[in-house]
Structure 1
Amino acid sequence: MKKLTLPYKIAGVLLLVTALIITACSVVPITGRRQISLVSDSEVTAMAFSQYSQFLQENPLSTNKAQTAMVKEVGQNIAAAVERYFAEKGLSDAIAHFQWEFNLVADDTPNAWCMPGGKVVFYEGIMPIAQDANGVAVVMGHEIAHAVAKHGSERMSQQVATELAGTTLSVLLSEKPEQTQAMAQTAFGVATQVGVILPYSRTHETEADRLGLIFMAMAGYDPSTAVAFWSRMAEMSGGGGSIPFLSTHPTHQKRIQDLQRALPEAMQYYNK
């Protein structure tokens, strides 16, 4: 039997990867967008929980009791609303691996993030912009949306597919642990160093904005306050979008326009 030449071998690998991508797809709740899914929830959340613990060991928690309590209360309210909605729709399995946790760290960076599995961090620097519980809910809903929509897992899957030709995550962890951890940091949108943020794509950010409005509305927070929050963020950055929390959107105006278009849908959940 003739050996395959290199072009045929490459074509075979590409065909295999393409087949994996086609068959390994999931659907984002509510938006219905199809996404690649080549990594398991258990693998991704194990990595996320480990990185979250490391981050908290290296970064001091806030001593502001009032702000800390607000972050935790809003987070728990939105998480509970999301869980109720998923239970009503028969989708509880999609978030069964979540272990919600909400912390405020002593850092003046205006930022927040949520790792896969519901591990949330707010930075003290975003609290003056949030101003109140509604403002915190805008940020919290957005970040929880990233986790619920499995944007971190999707980005991890994209890297596995494109960079490593469909190699499983468990194999990568054993054979290339440092490279895999670096991939995870990129996929989860946060590095363990203070203030180092690796932004999501514009598709993910826009989807998180839309879902975030819906999630905060489900929890009883007014989604119409999101426009005012993002306007305050725009004023703080001078319209340039240079701070980490805003880095993926082309302009503040575009983001606010997208939010205004999404508001009628979110208000349906708020008025229930």
Structure 2
Amino acid sequence: MLKKNLLALFAATVLAACTTSPTGRSQLMVMPDAQIDQMGLQTFSAMKTEKAISRNPQFNKLAHCVASAITQQMGGKWEVVVFDDAAVNAFALPGNKIGVYTGLIKLVNGNQDQLAAVIGHEVGHVLAKHSNERASEQMLAKQGMALAQQTSWGQSPQVLGLLGLGAQYGILLPFSRTHESEADVIGQELMAKSGFDPRQSITLWEKMAQASQGQQPAEIMSTHPSDATRIGNLQQHMPQALAYYEQAQAAGKRPHCR
């Protein structure tokens, strides 16, 4: 009886947590947004303490200008910090925080549109609440394994091992690749609506592919789509992005962040 009640509670939790992403994709979220935002704020605060912050005026001006144009599409106050780090990276966290690494700014060589492609992508993760979805997936995966252990067949070490593998490669990583592809589309639309040329998103990821020098895990074992998949996805959505770009240009949205 207890097992049936646990299963019913688990099923009810899953059904109650269903929501829809900005692209219309079904999502499962059980974590309170306020808790996820607080986690983002704590993480960002720790990074500002632990990592060197760039004082390069040109890098900071470019990053703040691009991020400001992108985030105007959502409103709210966003904090932007340029970290003095050679890694080709940027991120956005719940709680309206954006971090840009100097390695990325050097890679794009000051190109505002290419930097907008990355910042738009990272902000896309926040808009789609991917952090909440990922945390919820992990929580539900753990609950599922705990329920399996309540059954006789679930006591087998072999079965538990397969459940763990399935939770990683059958649930968590595929969702993560979905998150990345979804953030690409959202980011491409954001940059276009902000007046940045969405065609530069293709150039950006081509640069990323060259920078990786082929050192990339197989897509099925990776949390990121392959470069070819990513570029193909962006090309597929380019007509709509270009339409947004033309509308933005006509409305006078012409960022000058170079």
TM-score band by shorter chain is: 0.7 to 0.9
- Corresponding position of 1:230: 205
Quote the Cα distance in structure 2 between the aligned partners of 1:199 and 1:33: 14
Partner of 2:11: 18
Within 5 Å, give how 1:127-138 maps onto structure 2: 127-131=105-109, 132-138=111-117
Alignment of 1:34 onto 2:26: yes
Q: Is the 8 A contact 2:60 2:82 kept in 1?
A: yes
1:151 aligns with 2:130: yes
1:241, 1:249 within 8 Å by CA — same for their partners in 2?
no
1:56 and 1:200, CA in 2 relative to 1: closer, same or farther beyond 3 A? farther
1:62-81 aligned at under 5 Å gives the runs 62-81=54-73
Count residues with an aligned counterpart. 216
* In 1, Cα distance between equivalents of 2:124 and 2:73: 12
Answer with 248-257 or 138-147: which moved more: 248-257
Q: Measure how far apart 1:130 and its partner are.
A: 2.0
- Quick one: distance in 2 between partners of 1:267 and 1:206? 18
Cα offset for 1:12? 2.5
Contact 1:240 1:251 in 2 (8 A): no
Structure 1 unaligned regions, length at least 5: 84-97, 166-197
1:120 to 98, 107, 111: 98
- Answer yes or no: is the 8 Å Cα contact 2:181–2:225 preserved in 1: no
Partner AA of 1:217 in structure 2: A
Partner Cα separation in structure 2 for residue 226 and residue 42 of structure 1? 32
The change in CA–CA distance for 1:200 and 1:108 in structure 2 (over 3 A counts) is: farther
Superposition deviation, residue 99 in structure 1: 4.5
1:17-63 Cα shifts (integer Å, max 9, x gaps): 1211112222112x111211211111110121011101111111112
Name structure 2 gaps, 5 residues minimum. 145-172, 248-258
Q: Is 2:49 aligned against 1:57?
A: yes
SS at match of 2:237: helix
In 1: Cα distance, 2:118 partner to 2:175 partner: 15
| Root mean square deviation of aligned Cα | 2.3
Q: Radius of gyration: which is bigger?
A: 2
Write the deviation string for residues 157-203 of structure 1: whole angstroms up to 9, x where unpaired: 112222247xxxxxxxxxxxxxxxxxxxxxxxxxxxxxxxx997100
Between the aligned residues of both structures, percent identity stands at: 35
Aligned partners of 2:53 and 2:84 also within 8 Å: yes
Retained in 1: the 8 A contact 2:180–2:225? no
User: Normalising by the residue count of structure 1, what TM-score does the alignment of the two structures yield?
Assistant: 0.74
Post-superposition offset of 1:122? 1.0
Rounded to whole Å, the distance in 1 between the matches of 2:125 and 2:63 is: 17
Q: TM-score, normalised by structure 2?
A: 0.78
